[in-house]
């Protein structure tokens, strides 16, 4: 109980100093690090009921923070096939590095180089469960599947590309470091995203609803890279 109260009080204090609109990227990261520590302490020290609640809270928290604060910090950062930037709006970043770097920044214990250098399917399998394989450019099947599920964040591997798909109350979006115009990190409607809809293969994995990877975030356990 003390941990939960502290978590609420610290969050309120931080919110009074920085509004959501005026926080810098690094300020968001500082708040996330603090709140991750509070949730992690509650998870590790709690009984099964408290652990379940901590995982559920962390799922929503990670989903919201990535979509509202982490990804937007990178929008407009230039794409390059060899881009490995670790700082939004500086240098260039490739699609795999966009995935691995944003997740490392939010607090996942992973090697962003090794993860980014995997084939797109390996990146998905390292981060996700309930992996779905949709072949032959069957976008109808892909979007039917996503629409049948609650709002959440996916990682999707394509023929030669990787990124996030977010299902939100306003629609389905593809969030990625795009090699097409505009050649930069963007968020676009998934149904009209050329890099997505023209792929012959979709390897779609549940990320924000993957309890195993969420628990690794709470306990700071390292995420193994799978091929």
Q: Whole-angstrom Cα distance, residue 157 to residue 174?
A: 12
The predicted-structure confidence for 100-149, as pLDDT tens digits, reads as follows: 999 999 999 999 999 999 999 999 999 999 999 999 999 999 999 999 99
Q: Is the pLDDT confidence value at 4 over 50?
A: no
- pTM of the full structure: 0.90
Q: Is residue 226 part of a domain?
A: no
Which pLDDT score is estimated for 10?
Answer: 45
**Which of 32, 44, 108 has the alpha carbon at shortest distance from 73?**
32
- Nearest 5°: phi and psi at 223? -90, 120
**Considering Cα of 136, then 168, then 154, then 210, what sign does the dihedral take?**
negative
What is the pLDDT averaged over residues 13-40?
78
Residue 5 pLDDT greater than 60, yes or no = no
Measured distance CA(204)–CA(184) in Å, rounded: 22
- pLDDT on residue 30: 97
Write out the two tokens for 105.
């920044």
For the stretch 142-190, pLDDT in tens is 999 999 999 999 999 999 999 999 999 999 999 999 999 999 999 999 9
Q: Looking at the predicted structure, is the pLDDT value of residue 94 above 70?
A: yes
- Residue 184 counted as domain residue: yes
Write the pLDDT tens digit of every residue in 46-91.
899 999 999 999 999 999 999 999 999 999 999 999 999 999 999 9
Gap between the Cα atoms of 133 and 100, Å rounded: 21
Question: What local confidence, expressed as pLDDT, does residue 23 receive?
Answer: 83
User: Could you tell me how far CA 223 lies from the centroid of its own chain?
Assistant: 14
In a domain, 28, yes or no: yes
Q: 225 in a domain, yes or no?
A: no
Q: What is the total count of domains within the chain?
A: 1
Q: Are 212 and 129 in contact (CB under 8 A)?
A: yes
- Which structural domain, as residue segments, surrounds residue 124? 2-219
Please report which confidence band the pLDDT of residue 22 belongs to, taking 50, 70 and 90 as the band edges: low
Instruction: Note whether residue 227 is domain-resident.
Output: no
Instruction: Give the pLDDT score at 124.
Output: 98
pLDDT higher than threshold 70 for residue 44: yes
**What was the pLDDT predicted at 227?**
80
The pLDDT, as a whole number, for residue 37 is: 97
Check whether 196 has a pLDDT greater than 80: yes
Instruction: Tell whether 26 is covered by a domain.
Output: yes
Residue 170 counted as domain residue: yes
Residue 19 has pLDDT above 90, yes or no: no
């Amino acid at each position: 109980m003390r941990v939960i109260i502290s978590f609420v009080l610290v969050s309120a204090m931080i919110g009074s100093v920085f509004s959501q609109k005026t926080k810098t990227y690094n300020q968001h990261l500082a708040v996330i690090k603090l709140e991750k520590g509070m949730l992690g302490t509650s998870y590790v020290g709690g009984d099964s009921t408290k652990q379940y609640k901590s995982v559920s809270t962390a799922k929503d928290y990670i989903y919201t923070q990535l979509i509202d604060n982490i990804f937007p910090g990178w929008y407009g950062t230039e794409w390059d096939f060899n881009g490995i930037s670790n700082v939004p709006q500086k240098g260039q970043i490739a699609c795999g590095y966009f995935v691995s770097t944003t997740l490392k920044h939010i607090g996942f214990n992973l090697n962003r180089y090794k993860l980014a250098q995997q084939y797109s399917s390996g990146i998905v399998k390292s981060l996700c469960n309930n992996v779905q394989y949709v072949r032959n450019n069957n976008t109808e099947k892909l979007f039917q599947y996503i629409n049948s599920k609650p709002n959440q964040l996916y990682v999707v591997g394509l023929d030669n590309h990787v990124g996030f798909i977010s299902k939100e109350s306003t629609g389905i979006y593809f969030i990625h470091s795009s090699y097409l115009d505009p050649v930069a990190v963007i968020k676009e409607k998934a149904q009209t995203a050329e890099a997505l809809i023209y792929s012959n293969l979709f390897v779609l994995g549940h990320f924000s609803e993957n309890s195993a990877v969420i628990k690794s975030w709470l306990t700071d356990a390292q995420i193994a890279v799978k091929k």
